[in-house]
Chain A
Amino acid sequence: MSSTFSGLEVAKRALFTQQSALSTTGHNISNANTPGYSRQRVNFEQTSPYPAMGRNRPEIEGQIGQGVEAGSVQRVRDQFIDLQYRAENNKTGYWESRADALSQMEQIMNEPSETGLSDTMDQFWQSLNDLAGNPEDSGARSVVQQRGIAVADTFNYISDSLTAVQKDLENEINVTTKDINSVVSQIKDLNDQIKAVEPHGYLPNDLYDERDRLIDELSNMVNIDVEYNSSSDSAKDIAQGIASITLQNSEVKAIEGGALLTKDNVANQLDVAVKNNDSGQRLVTNIQINQMDKDGNKIGQEDFTPSDFSSNGKLKGLIESHGYQIETDSGQKEAEGIYVSMLEDIDKIAYAFADSFNIQHQKGYTLTENTDGLPKQGGAFFDTGSYSTDDYIGYASEMDLTSDVKSSEDNIAAALLVDESGNPLAPDQVEAGSYFGNGENAQALADVKGKVNAFLGENTSVQSYYEGMIGDLGVQAQEANRMADNASTLQQAVETRRQSVSGVSLDEEMSNMIKFQHAYNAAARNMTAVDEMLDRIINQMGLVGR
């Protein structure tokens, strides 16, 4: 026979278990809007029935159930969806940072518009045409001078603005690197806490949630591979254990030496080096992981060149936008990346234009005379300083008119003087003052913009090269926008599925609440019934004949 009081124990267990389920429901409702929270449930288990098998078991007709207990409190989560989410998240990070950088560039270039470089060049061309029609007019000359200054200013402005954004990108690289290190060290701390809880047979669900949230955050910045190792033999089977994190390439393979958080739960430090190269371009030269020991001392390092750094994500997007150094097969060091290439192109086109413009300008005659009384030929129009076709990096930011042309508009060489067979005339063959109505060189100068410029390429003029640059920018930006859009759509789809599994449904919690409440009430009624039975036995039995 079972104990007289066993009914009380069964009801008590039910009360406790339903109460814990109700508390968990309350916890779910409270955290319905907490980011990263996964709903929890109490796993109900039947307790072992009475009697247990054995030689001295009481002879009763069958095993009587002994009620319920809360086996464990578990969060409802699908790890496979987490993997998918993180795979999409690093793509979103990568493409969004690229799209951002490119959209800023589009704003700086400001094409097509009535105010971009293309229009400034057109206006310069117009002023030269007007000069060709009125070469003796100092008004027309001033306009050429001023529009020339405007062209140089526009190149300066574009170059400076691009450099400023590049500088911002460098800051963002540093901030992102710090973020990565900080997130990794937070994950390390959580690992430590989890390690302290799991051996006791508990599931630290809220710590798991927090850790997953941080890993999600990290996966936006770099592509990572997460591995879990059991924290202790006494931990539950469904316990997740300690997370270790390694950088991962696009083939979903862990990168050798790319451990950010080791199996021993030691956080390594990521570092990105940005340096100036010989031509003054600012480039990412090296990405380095400093390996640490438990006490935070550096014990080794792993270096990656920017082109070898294959972990996709915001950091890589930023590095590629900013510009980085690559080594060609022949061992030459070259610059690559969105901003650095655009800056280089702007420098190139500015130099190509200035140089060929100067060459044409030097063929012409000015309105002034040399000290020997002979007509003065044109000098350089744009000041090209010490720049050359081999070394034009940085020219756009320093482009200016020569002080000669700036000081007097008469020094613009608008006249082109040739003899009958088309050969240019030397100053001593020219009658001073007799050619002021000749505007042929102004026309030739106007044509420089649309003429094939060998320095820029075969069949390429300044005009078409610039159009190509803008077209290229447009295609790149369009691709980045589209990819960022795609990645974020996919990410949202995964997020929806994740919510579908782990999200808190208030209606569900509400009906659970009522379910558990009813069960609690019924268990209480059950206890009252047992209580009344006991009352019957103790107080009202054995009174016969009193």
Chain B
Amino acid sequence: MRVTQSMLSSNFLRNVSNSYERMGKYQEQLSTGKKVTKPSDDPVVAMKGMNYRTELTEVQQYQRNLGEVHTWMDNSDAAMDKMTKALQRTRELAVQASNDSYEEGQRANIAKEVRQLKEHLIDLGNTKVNDKHIFNGTSTTNPRFDKDGNLDTANANSAAVNIEVSDGVKIRVNTNPSNIFVDSESGQSMMEALENFATDLESGETGETGDQLDDHIENIDGFINQVVNERASLGARMNRVDMIENRLNSQEITTTQVLSDNEDVDVEKVIMNLKSQESVHRAALSTGARIIQPTLMDFLR
């Protein structure tokens, strides 16, 4: 084949430009850290990448949701712990007062403490966390009780507040307040029961005896049990949340790994490629420089 100078120089230019293109590709891969920057680089990787990104966003969002779940559950748990303590103190007082050796004046004093404990329980029932009343079902913007402990019947409810913690899995984060504050047998409310107890203590003159106070002890026991039961069910859900959290954490790692495997470059490999491409490039330049220079003119006199 007849070869001319212009063929050599255009060949040389084309090769050098191809070489630059390849180096540009490696440069882009190294500076972005990604194997693909547009779908046509590898359609499958690009599509999978979008999917994995969404998946990762979801996992991270569920983790964020878990934070919300923890706020609800931990605060409910703490409040119920305090309720139990308050109710136990009330029970102690009831047992104390049921001693017939107690005089009326002493019982009236006990009644004062019982009233304070009732106030405390009202406060606990109206616990507000993160601007939300956590013992009032979905009616989180309204307090459950007024200051006398009467149920706000217009707005109060016991509906579940559910939060999604992984795809399609919703978990109830609040407690059922009617299970706590209403006697499951008699339907009497906790505040009412305590108020009655205090009143009975004060009305000792009318011949209130220790035996009669035993009914109240039973009532209070009932409430203690209800709170403990509700707390146990919350505790069980908290356990489940912990397990879900563990799963989400490992899922996040896996998804990140898969995402990275899918589209991140293997830096060592790219640097090696770049290095060998650089050698090719240098070789191309130096051959080009040698070949396009000499002409017959150099040797003709």
Is B6 in the interface zone, CB < 8 Å from A? yes
In the complex, the answer to whether A437 meets B47 with C-beta atoms within 8 Å is no
Q: Which of B43, B139, B163 contacts A471 (CB 8 A)?
A: B43
Q: Closest CB-CB distance, A434 to chain B, in whole Å?
A: 4
In the complex, the answer to whether B6 meets A33 with C-beta atoms within 8 Å is yes
Residues of A within 8 A of B51 (CB): 467
Asked whether A112 and B156 contact (CB < 8 A) given A134-B68, A443-B164, A481-B40, the answer is: no
Is A506 in the interface zone, CB < 8 Å from B? yes
Is B161 in the interface zone, CB < 8 Å from A? yes
Is A109 in the interface zone, CB < 8 Å from B? yes
Of B57-65, B196-204, B275-283, the one touching chain A: B57-65
Asked whether A438 and B138 contact (CB < 8 A) given A122-B57, A501-B2, A507-B5, the answer is: yes
In angstroms, Cα B136 to Cα A32, docked, is 92
Residues of B within 8 A of A109 (CB): 39
In angstroms, Cα B64 to Cα A133, docked, is 10
In the complex, the answer to whether B39 meets A106 with C-beta atoms within 8 Å is yes
Residue of B nearest to A503 (CB): B4
Within A441-481, the residues touching B (CB, 8 Å) are: 443, 446, 463, 466-468, 470-478, 480-481
Asked whether A443 and B142 contact (CB < 8 A) given A130-B64, A136-B132, A506-B5, the answer is: no
Residue of A nearest to B157 (CB): A434
Is A125 in the interface zone, CB < 8 Å from B? yes
Asked whether A436 and B140 contact (CB < 8 A) given A470-B47, A474-B40, the answer is: yes
Interface residues as binary, B23-62 with A (CB distance below 8 Å gives 1, 0 otherwise): 0000000000000101111111011011101100110011
In angstroms, Cα B11 to Cα A497, docked, is 12
In the complex, the answer to whether A514 meets B159 with C-beta atoms within 8 Å is no
Asked whether A510 and B297 contact (CB < 8 A) given A470-B39, A475-B43, the answer is: yes
Asked whether A437 and B10 contact (CB < 8 A) given A471-B39, A507-B296, the answer is: no
Asked whether A433 and B142 contact (CB < 8 A) given A118-B54, A505-B5, A514-B300, the answer is: yes
Is A154 in the interface zone, CB < 8 Å from B? no
Q: Which of A111, A119, A125 contacts B46 (CB 8 A)?
A: A111
Is A415 in the interface zone, CB < 8 Å from B? yes
Within B151-167, the residues touching A (CB, 8 Å) are: 154-157, 159, 161-164
Q: Which of A107, A119, A434 contacts B142 (CB 8 A)?
A: A434
Within A28-78, the residues touching B (CB, 8 Å) are: 32-33
In the complex, the answer to whether A467 meets B47 with C-beta atoms within 8 Å is yes
In angstroms, Cα B297 to Cα A439, docked, is 87
In angstroms, Cα B142 to Cα A507, docked, is 98
In angstroms, Cα B42 to Cα A102, docked, is 14
Is A137 in the interface zone, CB < 8 Å from B? yes
Residues of A within 8 A of B157 (CB): 431, 434-435
Is A230 in the interface zone, CB < 8 Å from B? no
Is A492 in the interface zone, CB < 8 Å from B? yes
Residue of A nearest to B44 (CB): A471
In the complex, the answer to whether B155 meets A431 with C-beta atoms within 8 Å is yes
In the complex, the answer to whether B46 meets A471 with C-beta atoms within 8 Å is yes
Residues of A within 8 A of B295 (CB): 506-507, 510
Asked whether A133 and B68 contact (CB < 8 A) given A436-B141, A437-B137, A471-B47, the answer is: yes
In the complex, the answer to whether B46 meets A437 with C-beta atoms within 8 Å is no
Sorting the interface of chain B by its residue count into under 10, 10 to 19, 20 to 34 or 35 or more gives: 35 or more
In the complex, the answer to whether A439 meets B39 with C-beta atoms within 8 Å is no
In the complex, the answer to whether B139 meets A435 with C-beta atoms within 8 Å is yes
Is A511 in the interface zone, CB < 8 Å from B? yes
Sorting the interface of chain A by its residue count into under 10, 10 to 19, 20 to 34 or 35 or more gives: 35 or more
Q: Number of contacts between A and B (CB, 8 Å)?
A: 178
Residues of A within 8 A of B47 (CB): 467-468, 470-471, 474
In angstroms, Cα B296 to Cα A506, docked, is 8
Residues of B within 8 A of A499 (CB): 4, 6-7, 10
Asked whether A438 and B161 contact (CB < 8 A) given A415-B138, A500-B7, the answer is: yes
In the complex, the answer to whether B132 meets A438 with C-beta atoms within 8 Å is no
In the complex, the answer to whether A112 meets B40 with C-beta atoms within 8 Å is no
Interface residues as binary, A399-443 with B (CB distance below 8 Å gives 1, 0 otherwise): 000000000000000010000000000000001011111111001
Asked whether A478 and B10 contact (CB < 8 A) given A130-B64, A132-B163, A434-B139, the answer is: no
In the complex, the answer to whether B53 meets A119 with C-beta atoms within 8 Å is yes
In the complex, the answer to whether A129 meets B44 with C-beta atoms within 8 Å is no
In angstroms, Cα B59 to Cα A190, docked, is 70
In the complex, the answer to whether A478 meets B40 with C-beta atoms within 8 Å is yes
Residues of B within 8 A of A431 (CB): 139, 154-155, 157
Residues of A within 8 A of B44 (CB): 471
Within B96-146, the residues touching A (CB, 8 Å) are: 130-132, 136-142
Is A185 in the interface zone, CB < 8 Å from B? no
In angstroms, Cα B131 to Cα A459, docked, is 41
In the complex, the answer to whether B131 meets A136 with C-beta atoms within 8 Å is yes
Interface residues as binary, A103-123 with B (CB distance below 8 Å gives 1, 0 otherwise): 100110101100000110010
Instruction: Pick 16 A–B contacts, CB within 8 A, sort by A.
Output: A111-B50, A112-B49, A126-B61, A129-B61, A132-B65, A133-B65, A435-B157, A438-B159, A467-B51, A470-B47, A478-B43, A499-B7, A500-B4, A507-B5, A507-B295, A511-B296
- Can you list the 6 inter-chain pairs with the closest CB atoms, starting with the nearest? A474-B39, A474-B43, A437-B140, A477-B40, A505-B4, A133-B68
Could you list which residues of chain A lie within 8 angstroms of chain B, going by C-beta atoms? 32-33, 102-103, 106-107, 109, 111-112, 118-119, 122, 125-126, 129-130, 132-134, 136-137, 415, 431, 433-440, 443, 446, 463, 466-468, 470-478, 480-481, 492, 496-497, 499-501, 503-508, 510-511, 514
